[in-house]
């Protein structure tokens, strides 16, 4: 691989069916991820692009193999959602040598490796963490004394786990009351969320915990499942802040089992396809595009009417 002759293809028509996109999705770990996959595939179909969809099964090794197969297939563009932030340089250099633009979906990679990336469409993970912190500060405005917190991250070394925890820490900086007493990794999955909180409860008395910040709704559902086997009332004895704002997350918020749900918008498909159109037609484009996120919390009065698409 590598050293492929630079592509001499003429500039393709805007959205001719001849355009082929290689799409390496990081996995199928959560309902959010499924919605993101559907958003990309639906938008590609609307743009009349053909997509080679591959499920990375939460494995960087699989994703790298998939990207290499796209290069061999000489696709017109590659889209991938990187499971972790680093370790992509070699395969990205091969795509660059083959003259194939590579666009990030949903997640970022380390700054040192971004130079091989054409552009990206994602949400602001740091901002999501800051929004979670803003809710916690508001919730504990009149609280005297320490606020003991547990954080349940998603995929270790992923840009969203790094970003969300950074934003949460930044948002609470300067207020010595807030202390994170334990952090665990639940890989954004329901089953792992339940497993890690059950294991943590063997080490930490959860009756002494004031806040659980869970980095996605699927892990939160697993946490709720475990807490319901204890005498702890989620949303009352422990404040629970979650991210994604899936329908099931909003339903738990309505039931008072969680206290806030920060949206992470999965609908990257339309912006991705518009970006690919710009890239393939040699038009100007930005280095990154961000989707907006809103906050849902117990302080909202309109929760009863909130309908989510995933
Ligand atoms: C966030 C995305 C995360 C979601 C999880 O941008 O990468 O991965 O928050 C998903 O639900 O598994």
Assembly ipTM: 0.97
**94-146 pLDDT, tens digit each:** 999 999 999 999 999 999 999 999 999 999 999 999 999 999 999 999 999 99
Q: Ligand 1 centroid to 192 CA: how many Å? A: 14
Q: Ligand 1 centroid to 135 CA: how many Å? A: 20
- Cβ(267) – ligand 1 distance below 6 Å: no
Q: Which of 90, 95, 105 is nearest to 39 (CA)?
A: 105
- Looking at the DSSP bridge assignments, the partners of residue 50 are 20
Task: Identify the pLDDT of residue 168.
Answer: 98
| pLDDT of residue 2 exceeding 70 | no
Mean pLDDT of 15-24: 84
Place of tokens 């508001």: 138
Mean pLDDT of 73-81: 98
| pLDDT of residue 4 exceeding 60 | no
- Report residue 3's pLDDT band, with 50, 70 and 90 as the boundaries: very low
Written as six digits, the tokens of 11 are: 């500039």
Name residues whose C-beta falls within 8 Å of residue 121's C-beta, 6 or more positions apart in sequence: 103, 104, 105, 106, 268, 271, 272, 275, 288, 289, 290, 291
Task: Identify the pLDDT of residue 13.
Answer: 52
Tell me which of 267 and 16 has the higher pLDDT.
Answer: 267
Task: Identify the pLDDT of residue 1.
Answer: 33
Rounded Cα gap, residues 262 and 197, in angstroms: 21
| pLDDT of residue 8 exceeding 90 | no
Mean pLDDT of 26-51: 96
- Cβ(54) – ligand 1 distance below 6 Å: no
Q: Ligand 1 centroid to 188 CA: how many Å? A: 7
- Cβ(33) – ligand 1 distance below 6 Å: yes
Mean pLDDT of 155-174: 96
Nearest CA to ligand 1 atom 9: 216
Rounded Cα gap, residues 168 and 136, in angstroms: 9
CATH architecture of structural domain 16-123+266-292:
3-Layer(aba) Sandwich (3.40)
Name residues whose C-beta falls within 8 Å of residue 301's C-beta, 6 or more positions apart in sequence: none
Rounded Cα gap, residues 41 and 38, in angstroms: 5
Domain 125-264 has CATH 3.40.50.2300: yes
Q: Which atom of ligand 1 is nearest to the CA of 189?
A: 12
Q: Ligand 1 centroid to 33 CA: how many Å? A: 6
Q: Which atom of ligand 1 is nearest to the CA of 218?
A: 11
Q: Which atom of ligand 1 is nearest to the CA of 125?
A: 6
Q: Ligand 1 centroid to 155 CA: how many Å? A: 9
Mean pLDDT of 235-251: 97
Mean pLDDT of 53-66: 98
| pLDDT of residue 73 exceeding 90 | yes
Task: Identify the pLDDT of residue 5.
Answer: 47
pLDDT cut 70: percent of the chain above it: 95
Mean pLDDT of 220-238: 98
Q: Which of 160, 209, 152 is nearest to 185 (CA)?
A: 152
SS3 assignment for the chain: CCCCCCCCCCCCCCCCCCCEEEEEECCCCCHHHHHHHHHHHHHHHHCCCEEEEEECCCCHHHHHHHHHHHHHCCCCEEEECCCCCCCCHHHHHHHHHCCCCEEEEECCCCHHHHHHCCEEEEECHHHHHHHHHHHHHHHCCCCCCCEEEEEEECCCCCHHHHHHHHHHHHHHCCCCCEEEEEEEECCCCHHHHHHHHHHHHHHCCHHHCCEEEECCHHHHHHHHHHHCCCCCCECCCEEEEEEECCHHHHHHHHCCCCCEEEECCCCCHHHHHHHHHHHHCCCCCCCCEEECCCEEECCCCCHHHCCCCC
Q: Which atom of ligand 1 is nearest to the CA of 159?
A: 7
- Cβ(107) – ligand 1 distance below 6 Å: yes
Task: Identify the pLDDT of residue 25.
Answer: 98
- Cβ(85) – ligand 1 distance below 6 Å: no
- Cβ(244) – ligand 1 distance below 6 Å: yes
CATH 3.40.50.2300 segments of the chain: 16-123+266-292, 125-264
- Cβ(164) – ligand 1 distance below 6 Å: no
- Report residue 11's pLDDT band, with 50, 70 and 90 as the boundaries: low
| Number of other residues whose CB lies within 10 A of the CB of residue 309 | 10
């Amino acid at each position: 691989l590598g050293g492929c002759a630079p592509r001499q293809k003429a500039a393709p028509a805007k959205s001719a069916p001849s355009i082929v996109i290689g799409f390496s999705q990081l996995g199928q770990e959560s309902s959010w991820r499924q919605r993101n996959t559907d958003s990309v595939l639906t938008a590609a179909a609307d743009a009349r692009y053909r997509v080679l969809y591959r499920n990375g099964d939460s494995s960087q090794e699989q994703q790298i193999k998939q990207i290499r197969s796209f290069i061999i297939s000489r696709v017109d563009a590659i889209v991938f959602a990187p499971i972790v932030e680093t370790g992509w340089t070699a395969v990205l250099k091969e795509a660059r040598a083959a003259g194939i633009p590579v666009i990030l979906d949903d997640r970022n990679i380390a700054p040192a490796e971004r130079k091989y990336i054409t552009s990206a469409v994602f949400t602001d993970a740091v901002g999501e963490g800051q929004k979670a912190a803003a809710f916690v500060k508001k919730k504990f405005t009149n609280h005297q004394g320490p606020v003991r917190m547990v954080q349940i991250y998603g995929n270790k070394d992923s840009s969203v786990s790094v970003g969300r925890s950074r934003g949460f820490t930044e948002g609470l900086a300067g207020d010595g009351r807030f202390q994170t007493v334990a952090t665990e990794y639940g890989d954004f999955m329901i089953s792992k969320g339940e497993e890690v909180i059950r294991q943590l409860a063997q080490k930490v008395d959860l009756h002494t915990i004031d806040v659980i910040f869970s980095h996605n709704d699927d892990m939160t559902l697993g946490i709720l499942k475990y807490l319901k086997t204890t005498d702890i009332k989620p949303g009352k004895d422990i404040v629970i802040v979650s991210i994604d704002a899936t329908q099931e997350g909003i339903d738990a918020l309505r039931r008072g089992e969680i206290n806030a749900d920060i949206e992470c918008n999965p609908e990257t498909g339309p912006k991705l396809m518009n970006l690919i159109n710009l890239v393939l037609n040699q038009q100007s484009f930005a280095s990154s595009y961000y989707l907006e996120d809103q906050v849902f919390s117990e302080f909202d009065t309109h929760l009863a009417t909130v309908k989510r698409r995933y």
